[in-house]
C-alpha cells in the first residue's frame, strides 16, 4: 500500500489544479467546514429545472397503473441469490444505442483494444436466470423518480453504463455537469426520470491532509460526519446507489470531532491502526445511519454496491502491473480471502443490519453484491486501452471497459428494482 494511490493516476479528472486549489483554500480556513466540491451550482440549477424535486414515490406511481411491462422471467429472481453463480458464454448483442454515450477513457475499443470475446459472457446465478437488461422495463419502473449514484469514479463507471443501456429506449438530456465532470445530472423527459451522479470519495467529510504546508496524498476523514455534498437533497431522491472502496487504500487519519481515533496505513505511536476495510465500515455505517435517520426520506431505497476489485498482474499499479487477459477466470482460480473479500463481507453485513432497522422507517437497504462476479473478470478492465496520454506508464486495471462486464451491475440493479417495486412478488 502506497500513497499516492492508483486513483490519483487513473482518474482523468482527479487531482486537477482547480480542485487542489479549492481544497487548499478551504483547508486553510476551516478544516471540515467547507466541502471541497461546490454543490451550489447543482442546487441553483434545481431552482430552474422543472419539478426536479417534486416527490412522487415509487408506490404512488404504481398505484397509477404503471409499469405496464411484466418481466419475461416472472418471479424466478425472488428468493434467488443473484450473486452466487458463474460466467457462461453467450453471444451478446451490442446493447448500447451507439458508442457516442461512452466516455473516452472507458471506450477501450476506441483506444485499440482488439479482442471482443470478453463481451460474450453472461452472469448465471446458480438458482435462477438474471434477467437481461431491458431499458423499457427499467424506465417504466423509475418513471417519475430520481436515482442518485453516490461514490467515486467506479460508481460513475456504472452510471455511464446505465446511461448507455437506457439510451436504447430514450436518449437522456444532459442537464448538468460540474467542471470536473464529477457531479452530473441526466433527464429522461419521456419517463420523467432523473439520474444523477453525486461525487463522494469517502461518503464522509474529508479533506486532503496538509504536511509541512503543502497538500499530501493523505486524507483527514471526519468519520462520524457524512459528506454534505450528497446529503443536501436526499429527501427528494427515490433510489440511492451508494458505494465506497478504493480511496481507502492510502494514508487516512480518522477523526471524531477533533480527536484522531485511528489511522489507515501509518506508523504513529499512540494512534490505533485501522485497516482499509475497518475505515470503509465506519464510513459506510455513518452514511447508512444518516439515510435511515432522515425523516423526510420515507420510502427511499438504498442499494449498497459492494467492492469492485482491481486486477493488476506482473506488478502493482505503480510498478508496471498489467491486465491483459481476454477471458473470465474460473472460480477455482480465485483465492477467496484478503481485503476485497473482507470489504465485501463488511458491506453486506452493514447493509443487512440497516435493512432490519430500516423496515420500521419504511426504508429499504439492499446489497448489490458484485464482488464475486467481478473478481472473476480480470479481462474487463481497460488496461492499456484508456487513452493514457498523461500517464503512459499506468494501466487501468481498476475501472471497467464500456461496454463490458460492468453492464451486469445494471442487470443486478434492474432485478433489485423489480423486487423493490413489487413488479415481481
Ligand X SMILES: *[C@@H]1O[C@H](CO)[C@@H](O)[C@H](O)[C@H]1NC(C)=O
**Listed ranges 95-103, 254-262, 369-377, 388-396: which one lies at the site for ligand X (CB under 6 A):** 95-103
Q: Which residues 6+ apart lie within 8 Å of 32 measured at CB?
A: 205, 207, 220, 222, 225, 255
Annotated catalytic residue: which of 153, 277, 308, 364? Answer: 153
214: contact with ligand X by CB under 6 A: no
Site pattern 101..140 for ligand X (x: CB under 6 A): ----------------------------------------
Radius of gyration of the chain (CA): 21
Q: Number of residues in contact with ligand X, rule: CB under 6 A? A: 12
Output 2 or 225, the one with its CB closest to ligand X.
2
212 vs 425, beta carbon nearer ligand X: 212
Q: Which helix (H) or strand (E) holds 240?
A: strand 239-242
- Catalytic one among 238, 265, 369, 396? 396
Task: Cell numbers for 376, please give them.
Answer: 472473476
- Give the phi and the psi of residue 142 in degrees, each rounded to 5: -105, 15
213 is a site residue for ligand X (CB under 6 A): no
The reply on whether position 217 binds ligand X by CB under 6 A is: no
Q: Which of residues 267 and 296 has its CB atom nearest to ligand X in the complex?
A: 267
The sign one gets for the Cα dihedral 180, 181, 184, 186 is positive
Per-residue contact flags (x/-) with ligand X for residues 42 to 81, judged by CB under 6 A: ----------------------------------------
Binding mask 385-404 for ligand X (x = CB under 6 A): --------------------
Contact 95, 133 (CB under 8 A): yes
Q: Which is nearer to ligand X, 41 or 99 (CB)?
A: 99
Residue closer to ligand X, measured from CB, 326 or 391: 326
Residue 153 catalytic? yes
318 among known catalytic residues: no
Measured CA to CA, the distance from residue 24 to residue 204 in angstroms comes to 18
Residue 86: which H helix or E strand, with range? strand 85-89
Q: Determine, following the binding rule CB under 6 A, whether residue 316 of this chain makes contact with ligand X.
A: no
Distance separating alpha carbons of residues 245 and 305, to the nearest angstrom: 10
Contact flag: residue 270 with ligand X (CB under 6 A) = yes
396 is a catalytic site residue: yes
Interface pick for ligand X out of 324, 329, 342, 361 (rule CB under 6 A)? 324
Strand partners, 89: 121
How buried is residue 260: exposed, middle or buried, by Cβ count under 10 Å (0-12/13-18/19+)? middle
Q: Taking CB under 6 A as the rule, does residue 322 contact ligand X?
A: yes
Helix ranges, 256-406 (H): 276-293, 339-360, 371-375
What does the block give as the cell for 340?
476485497
Query: Do the Cβ atoms of 366 and 416 come closer than 8 Å?
Result: yes
Q: Which residues contact 295 (CB under 8 A, 6 or more apart)?
A: none
Region near ligand X per CB under 6 A, out of 92-100, 117-125, 229-237, 350-358: 92-100
Any contact of residue 327 with ligand X (CB under 6 A)?
A: no
Q: Does 261 bind ligand X (CB under 6 A)?
A: no
Examine residue 40 and tell whether it contacts ligand X (CB under 6 A). Answer: no
For the bound state, the minimum distance from the C-beta of residue 97 to ligand X, rounded and expressed in Å, comes to 5
Q: Does 180 bind ligand X (CB under 6 A)?
A: no
CA dihedral 131, 136, 142, 144 (to 10 degrees): -170
Binding site for ligand X (CB under 6 A): 97-98, 100, 171, 211-212, 269-270, 314, 322, 324, 326
Q: Which residues are catalytic?
A: 153, 396, 399
Amino acid at each position: 500500500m502506497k500513497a499516492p494511490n492508483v486513483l490519483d493516476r487513473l482518474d482523468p479528472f482527479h487531482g486537477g489544479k482547480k480542485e487542489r486549489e479549492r481544497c487548499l483554500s478551504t483547508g486553510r480556513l476551516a478544516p471540515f467546514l467547507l466541502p471541497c466540491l461546490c454543490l451550489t451550482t447543482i442546487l441553483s440549477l434545481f431552482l430552474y429545472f422543472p419539478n426536479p424535486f417534486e416527490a412522487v414515490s415509487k408506490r404512488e406511481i404504481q398505484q397509477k397503473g404503471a409499469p405496464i411491462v411484466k418481466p419475461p422471467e416472472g418471479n424466478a429472481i425472488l428468493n434467488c441469490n443473484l450473486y452466487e453463480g458463474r460466467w457462461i458464454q453467450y453471444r451478446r448483442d451490442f446493447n448500447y444505442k451507439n458508442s457516442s454515450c461512452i466516455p473516452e477513457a472507458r471506450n477501450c475499443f476506441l483506444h485499440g483494444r482488439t479482442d471482443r470475446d470478453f463481451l460474450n459472457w453472461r452472469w448465471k446465478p446458480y438458482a435462477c436466470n438474471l434477467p437481461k437488461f431491458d431499458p423499457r422495463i427499467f424506465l417504466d419502473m423509475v418513471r417519475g423518480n430520481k436515482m442518485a449514484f453516490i461514490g467515486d469514479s467506479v460508481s460513475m463507471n456504472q452510471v455511464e453504463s446505465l446511461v448507455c443501456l437506457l439510451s436504447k429506449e430514450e436518449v437522456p438530456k444532459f442537464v448538468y455537469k460540474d467542471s470536473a465532470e464529477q457531479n452530473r445530472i441526466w433527464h429522461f423527459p419521456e419517463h420523467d426520470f432523473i439520474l444523477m451522479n453525486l461525487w463522494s470519495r469517502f461518503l464522509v467529510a474529508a479533506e486532503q491532509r496538509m504536511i509541512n504546508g503543502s497538500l499530501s496524498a493523505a486524507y483527514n476523514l471526519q468519520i462520524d460526519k457524512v459528506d454534505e455534498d450528497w446529503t443536501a437533497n436526499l429527501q427528494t431522491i427515490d433510489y440511492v446507489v451508494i458505494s465506497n472502496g478504493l480511496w481507502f487504500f492510502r494514508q487516512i487519519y480518522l477523526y471524531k470531532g477533533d480527536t484522531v481515533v485511528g489511522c489507515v496505513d501509518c506508523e504513529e505511536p499512540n494512534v490505533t491502526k485501522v485497516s482499509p476495510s475497518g475505515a470503509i465500515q465506519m464510513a459506510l455505517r455513518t452514511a447508512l445511519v444518516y439515510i435511515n435517520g432522515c425523516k423526510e426520506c420515507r420510502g427511499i431505497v438504498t442499494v449498497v454496491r459492494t467492492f469492485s476489485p482491481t486486477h493488476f498482474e506482473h506488478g502493482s499499479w505503480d510498478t508496471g502491473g498489467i491486465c491483459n487477459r481476454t477471458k473470465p477466470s474460473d472460480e477455482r482460480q480465485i483465492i477467496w480471502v484478503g481485503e476485497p473479500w473482507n470489504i465485501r463481507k463488511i458491506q453486506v453485513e452493514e447493509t443487512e443490519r440497516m435493512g432490519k432497522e430500516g423496515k420500521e422507517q419504511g426504508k429499504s437497504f439492499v446489497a448489490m453484491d458484485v464482488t464475486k462476479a467481478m473478481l472473476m473478470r480480470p479481462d474487463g478492465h481497460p488496461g492499456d486501452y484508456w487513452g493514457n496520454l498523461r500517464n503512459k506508464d499506468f494501466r487501468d486495471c481498476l475501472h471497467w471497459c464500456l461496454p463490458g462486464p460492468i453492464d451486469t451491475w445494471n442487470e443486478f440493479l434492474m432485478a433489485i428494482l423489480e423486487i423493490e417495486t413489487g413488479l415481481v412478488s
